[in-house]
Amino acid sequence: MAADTNIGKAGAGRTIISVDAMGGDRGPAAVVAGISLSAKKNPDIGFILHGPRAKLAPLIARKKILADRIEIRDAPDVVSMEDKPRDVIRTGKSTSMWSAIESVRNGEADAVVSCGNTGALMMLSVVRLRKIPGVARPAIAVLWPSRNPQGFNIMLDAGADISADENDLLQYALMGASYARNGMELKRPRIGLLNVGTEEHKGRPELKLAHEMIQENADAANFDFVGFVEGRDLPGETVDVIVTDGFTGNVALKTGEGTASLVGDLLREAFKYTPLSRLAALLAYPSLRRLNKRIDPRRVNGGVFLGLNGTVVKSHGASDATGVSAAIKLAFKLGQSGFSEKLAARVASAVSLPQDASTSQDNSGNPS
Amino acid sequence: MAADTNIGKAGAGRTIISVDAMGGDRGPAAVVAGISLSAKKNPDIGFILHGPRAKLAPLIARKKILADRIEIRDAPDVVSMEDKPRDVIRTGKSTSMWSAIESVRNGEADAVVSCGNTGALMMLSVVRLRKIPGVARPAIAVLWPSRNPQGFNIMLDAGADISADENDLLQYALMGASYARNGMELKRPRIGLLNVGTEEHKGRPELKLAHEMIQENADAANFDFVGFVEGRDLPGETVDVIVTDGFTGNVALKTGEGTASLVGDLLREAFKYTPLSRLAALLAYPSLRRLNKRIDPRRVNGGVFLGLNGTVVKSHGASDATGVSAAIKLAFKLGQSGFSEKLAARVASAVSLPQDASTSQDNSGNPS
C-alpha cells in the first residue's frame, strides 16, 4: 500500500468513504462510475479509492467531478470471489480489500464500501477492525423491500454466521434498532424475532430465551418489541427490523430474491405472448418501470456489517454504477452520523445475561 | 362417528378420498364445491365426507354430480385453528378431522384431505396412522412454483418439526424422491440439500453428515443428488426436490409467499396509477391472468404428510373450491398409485446409520 499524501485534498470538511475498486463482477470501471454518480449528487463526500493505480488513474482522469475529491491508494492485488477467507488473512496484505479496510482502521475514512468476496470481507473486517465489546458474533444487515412507509425492512443476520444463540440474537436486536435509527431515521423501530409462528410457546429453545431477553431490553434501548414474526413479515408492514440467525436469514434472503426474479421473468414472458399483450406491455411500460424501481435490488444495495469498530458496507458483487452509488450513499449516511460509535454505546449499555433474563423479570427497565 | 352402510355405493371401483368438511376458513360449502368440481373432472373418485350431517346433507343434495359418489359420516364437532394439538388428541374423538383420518386408518379410504389446523392434523395423523418404520420425524412436503418443466418443485420439511438431524434429512430425501416419482411422474428426481452455499465445506455439522448419507443412497434409491443448493434454487430449475429442516422450510415458504404477494400487490398498484396504465391493465388482463394461473397458490394447494401409514393431504385453510379440488386431485393421484406403501418400502430399503456414512465409503451401492 503506497502512502499518498493528498488525503487533505480529498478530505476537506467532507465525509470520507474508502472504496475497494476491485473484486466486483463488473470491474473497477463500474465502481468509478458509481463513485462519480455519488459525487455529483452529494458535494459532502470525499473518496479514497483502493486498487492498482495504473488501472484506476485513467478511469478517474475521465471523470471531471472527481478531480479534487478522490485519491488513489495503490494496491496491486485483488481478492477474488473464489479466495478462501483464511488465505486472504494470511497473504492478502497487498490487496485492495485489505487496503480499503485499513483506511477505516486508521481513521482516514468514515466507512468502507466493497463489492468483493463477502466471506473474505467479513473475516478481514473482524481481524483488522475488531469486534466491539459485548458482541460475540458480528452480523450482516440487509434491506428488504416491504409494505412499510419507508419502503424497506431491515433483516439481520443475513449470513455472517450460520448460528446464533440467545445472546447473539439480543445483540442483533440492539444493533438492528440502532441501524434503523441511524440508517432509516426510525425513531422507535419495531423489532420482531423470526420464528415459525407468532405464538410464544413455539420454536427452538434459544428463540424463547431471546424473546425474553429482547423484551427486557426494549424500553431501555428505545424500540418496540413485537415478539415473534414469520417469513411473510419480511416484506410486510408489521415490523421494521427482523432478527434471525445467519443460516435462516441467508436462506430467506435468497428465497425472496429467487421468488421475485421468477415472478418478474414470468411477467415478461406473459407480456410477450400475443400481439395484444405486447401492445399492453408498451402502454404499461411506465407502470412496470415504477414497479421495477420500487423493488429494484440495486436501490437497496448494501449489506452492512454490524458489531465492528468501523462501518463496512458490502455492495452486491454484480453491482453496476447505480448499485455502487446506493452503497456509497448508505456508507455516507452511516459514516456521517457516527453510527459505529453510537452502536457500540448502545450495545455496551445493555448487557443482559441469560440467567438474568430467565430468573428476574423486574429489572427490565434497568439493564446494567 | 356414525357407521353408515352405503360405503359400497361410494366406492364401486373408485379411489376413495376421505374429506374433512370442517375447519377451513370458508366452511363446508367451499369444501363441497371443491368435491363437486373434482367429481365432474374425474369419474374415478368416490368420497367419504366427515362433519355434522345436518349441515352437510343440504349442501350435498344440491350437487347432482355427487348423488351416488359420496357418503356422509356424521361428526358433530370441529377442530378450530386455535385448538392445541394435544387437546385434540385427548378430547377430539367426535371431530370431523379425527373421523376423516379414521377412514384411512381402517382402510375405507385411500387418502384423506383436510383444510383444518395443521398442527392438530399432523399430531392426529401421527397418533392414529403411526409412523412407518425407519422414520423418526414425519415431514410436510409442499409444491413450489418453479422454472422446471413440471412447473413446480417439492420442498420438505415445510414445518412438521422445527429440527432435523442427519438421519431425518436422509429420510426426507428418500421420501421426497418417492413423492416426486408418484406425485409428479419424475422417474429420476434431482435432490438438493438446502444450505447457505453450494461448497461442500459450508454449513452446519448435520448438513455435512446428511450430504454424505444422501450421496451414498442416491443410486440405490434411484435419484440424482446435486448436493447443496441455496434459497434461490427453491423456485429454480437446478433441482426437483429440496430437503431442509422444518424451521428453515417454514420460514422459506412464508418468505416466498410474502414476496410473491408483495410483488403482485405492487403490480396492481402500478397499473392503477394513471389513465394510460389503467388502459394497459385492461389490455394486459389476459397476460396477467396467464401469469396468475402459473403462480396461483391454489393450483399447488396441498401439503402432503410423508412418513405415515396412509396419505394425508393438508389443504390451505383459506382454500376455495379450486384449492380444495387441487388438493383432492393430489390425494387421488397418491392414493391411486399406492404411494404410501411404495414410500414405506423405499425407506425400509435404505437404512444408513451415521457411523456407516462417515466411516465406510464402499458400500454405497448396497444400503442394507
Residues in chain B where the model's pLDDT stays below 50: 1-7, 9, 353-368
Confidence of residue A250 (pLDDT cuts 50, 70, 90): very high
Predicted ipTM of the assembly: 0.85
CA separation for the pair B340, B334 (Å, rounded): 8
A1-129 and A136-301+340-368, same CATH topology = yes
**Angstrom distance (rounded) from CA B42 to CA B36:** 10
Task: Name the CATH superfamily housing domain A136-301+340-368.
Answer: Isopropylmalate Dehydrogenase (3.40.718.10)
Q: What confidence tens digit (pLDDT) does each residue in A209-220 have?
A: 999 999 999 999
Position B296 scores a pLDDT of 66
Dist. CA B265–CA A146, nearest whole Å: 11
Chain A nearest C-alpha distance from B331 (Å): 26
How far is it, in rounded angstroms, from Cα B8 to Cα A224? Answer: 60
pLDDT in tens, A98-151: 999 999 999 999 999 999 999 999 999 999 999 999 899 999 999 988 999 988
Are A231 and B252 spatial neighbours (Cβ–Cβ below 8 Å)? yes
Residues from chain B contacting residue A204 (CB–CB below 8 Å): 162-163, 247
Which of B84, B148, B254 would you mutate first to test chain A, the one with the most A CBs within 10 A?
B254
Secondary structure (DSSP) of A101-151: HHHHHTTS-SEEEE-S-HHHHHHHHHHHH-BPTT-SS-EEEEEEE-SSTTS
For residues B296, B301, B304 and B310, what is the CA-based torsion angle, rounded to 10 degrees?
-150
CA distances, B127 to each of B85, B86, B120, B330 (Å) = 11, 11, 10, 23
Q: Cell numbers for A247, please give them.
A: 443460516
Specify the DSSP element, H or E, that contains B54: helix B53-61
Q: What confidence category does residue A367 fall into, taking pLDDT thresholds of 50, 70 and 90? A: very low
Give dist(CA A133, CA A68) in Å, integer: 38
To the nearest whole Å, the CA of B241 is away from the closest chain A CA by 15
* Spatial distance between the Cα atoms of A161 and A139, rounded to a whole number of angstroms: 7
What is the three-class DSSP state of B114?
strand
- For domain B135-302+338-368, the question of CATH label 3.40.718.10 is answered with yes
**How far away is chain A from the Cα of B323, in angstroms, using its nearest Cα?**
20
Beta strands in chain A (DSSP E): 15-20, 45-51, 70-74, 111-114, 139-145, 152-156, 190-194, 224-229, 241-243, 303-306, 311-314
pLDDT at A200: 72
CA distances from A16 to A35, A44, A107, A203, A332 (A): 12, 9, 10, 44, 8
| B340 CA: distance to closest CA in chain A (Å) | 27
pLDDT digits over A80-108, tens only? 999 999 999 999 999 999 999 999 999 99
Q: Is A283 close to B261, i.e. CB distance below 8 A?
A: no
Contact residues, chain B, for A202 at CB < 8 Å: 162
Q: SS3 for B6?
A: coil
Among A145, A282, A291, select the one facing B267 at the smallest CB separation. A291
Question: What residues does each domain of chain A span?
Answer: 1-129, 136-301+340-368
Name the residue facing B255 among A234, A264, A271 (closest C-beta). A234
Q: What is the CATH number of domain B1-129?
A: 3.40.718.10
The amino acid that residue B319 corresponds to is: S
3-state helix, strand, coil in chain B (%, to 5): 50, 15, 35
Residues with Cβ within 8 Å of B222's Cβ and at least 6 positions away in sequence, in order, are B177, B181, B187, B188
Q: Which residues of A274-284 are buried (b: 16+ CB within 10 A; e: fewer)?
A: eeebeebbebb
In the numeric block, which cell numbers belong to residue A338? 457516527
CB A348 within 8 A of CB A133: yes
Assess whether pLDDT exceeds 60 at residue A4: no
